[in-house]
Amino acid sequence: MGSIDSPNDADNDNNRQLAGTSPNFAVNPPENESYRRRKSSILPLEVGTRVLCRWRDSKHHPVKVIERRRVHGGGPNDYEYYVHYTEFNRRLDEWVKLEQLDLKSVETVVDEKVEDKVTSLKMTRHQKRKIDETHVEGHEELDAASLREHEEFTKVKNIATIELGRYEIETWYFSPFPPEYNDSLKLYFCEFCLNFMKRPEQLQRHMRKCDLKHPPGDEIYRSGTLSMFEVDGKKNKVYGQNLCYLAKLFLDHKTLYYDVDLFLFYVLCECDDRGCHMVGYFSKEKHSEESYNLACILTLPPYQRKGYGKFLIAFSYELSKKEAKVGTPERPLSDLGLLSYRGYWTRVLLDILKKHKGNISIKELSDMTAIKAEDILTTLQSLELIQYRKGQHVICADPKVLDRHLKAAGRGGLDVDVSKLIWTPYKEQG
């Protein structure tokens, strides 16, 4: 996001500019009186109002008022407003005070199409790469009516921050915690069993009794300080549900699993002498008729921009290779999810094409990589590396073109050392 100026910088600039214009700038009765009358007539702001709001960068951005609540002990017009920044993703929605809103802009018309584009608007290549590292928003299987219902139900973040291990993390989205947590703006998680509590002293008592130092599953990978644990949702139902509650705070259209029995969770950890600390995870169905090898994926905010998201995607394909199956992520993918996977597919396929001598078929590529043939075809088509000749697809692999596409695809992130993966596919377990 870059450096953030002091919130007062813009105000000081305005004051300096005004002070230099006229010694009488502070007393302009007609304008001030008119503005006071107008301000009185529009407050409190209605839900749905569009206005400019001062954000963390000290600049004003267009917002839509999603919800409002009275300020405790305030007057009849004293409200806080929950706003959606129409230029940005919903994860930036927040409660703001009245002084952050530019009431002179209340009648400003904002293009309705802005909200439909959300993250695709005003997003630089650097920002897309940054989000690519963050997470893939899976489970966006909602039709238009369901999406509206989902957004209405989840429009206001219920938990503002969480404490997980040594990190305090600002949340991004609503998560349907049990009703008894409705009044909790902050939750405290045990970083090993993922039980959550309302107060820090509850967490301290819990940590004295909790004997876990890693996720409650089998360690299937250890390379240096990185470990991967496989957690069976049926054997560890509470942990699986807690993980879903936690993940939903950072995934917008993810479906929360109450029936976690059908899923396996692969939890990536950084390990030290205090234990194995969760970095991120992906889930997959135990049995998928559609060859899905990944359902949801998340890298927690403190661990972003370190290549862990790409590592998790690569790991899901290494499991597919062990199963002797082709795999593909659960559909439909979000735009950012497709961006993440297209980057992975591009790097893997082009690396092979660069090294391979002679012709190679899409089926052979699929057998080598465990990537589904349809995903290989669409990736190569998007790179304009495939042609249809005499009833069959032909791969055109000019070395200079391959190098250009590889450079554009960016770094591959952390490598999975397959020799350190000790794992038995689920169908073969006891």
**What are the catalytic residues?**
330
Q: At what angle do helices 335-355 and 362-369 cross, to 10 degrees?
A: 100
Dihedral of CA atoms 151, 153, 156, 159 in degrees, nearest 10, equals -120
CB 82 within 8 A of CB 95: yes
Q: At what angle do helices 373-382 and 362-369 cross, to 10 degrees?
A: 110
3-state helix, strand, coil in the chain (%, to 5): 40, 25, 40
Distance of alpha carbon 313 from alpha carbon 136, whole angstroms: 10
State which amino acid sits at residue 422: I
Distance of alpha carbon 279 from alpha carbon 228, whole angstroms: 10
CB 263 within 8 A of CB 231: no
**What's the residue count for the chain?**
430
Please choose, from the candidates 99, 60, 63, the residue with its C-alpha nearest in 3D space to the C-alpha of residue 82: 63
User: What secondary structure does DSSP assign to 345-373, as a single string?
Assistant: HHHHHHHHHHH--S---HHHHHHHH-B-H
Other beta carbons less than 10 A from residue 328's beta carbon: 22
